[in-house]
Amino acid sequence: MSFYQKEVKLARAELELAAPAEKDAILYYQELYNLARDKKLNEAIGKIHEEEKMHLVAIRERIYEFSLG
């Protein structure tokens, strides 16, 4: 296995570890959003929640890309 292949394998493994953490963050911010009563706070939490979902999509895309190579 070449150095490049080892690095890709390691990067993929790290991303696979990161995905569940992002899922947990999504659930966490969803719960905060559901509990918060302040409109401005809900807007801020909603933005963070959307960012976390985007992170998960990006992680899944990278995992897929690393699976191809």
What integer pLDDT is reported at residue 25 of this predicted model? 98
What pTM was computed for the model? Answer: 0.86
Residue ranges covered by each domain of the chain: 3-68
Let me know: does 52 contact 58? Beta carbons within 8 Å: no
Instruction: Give 8-58 pLDDT, tens digit per residue.
Output: 999 999 999 999 999 999 999 999 999 999 999 999 999 999 999 999 999
For residue 29, what are its two tokens? 């911010």
Confidence of residue 69 (pLDDT cuts 50, 70, 90): low
What integer pLDDT is reported at residue 68 of this predicted model? 85
Pure H helices in 1-69: 3-35, 39-68
What integer pLDDT is reported at residue 1 of this predicted model? 86
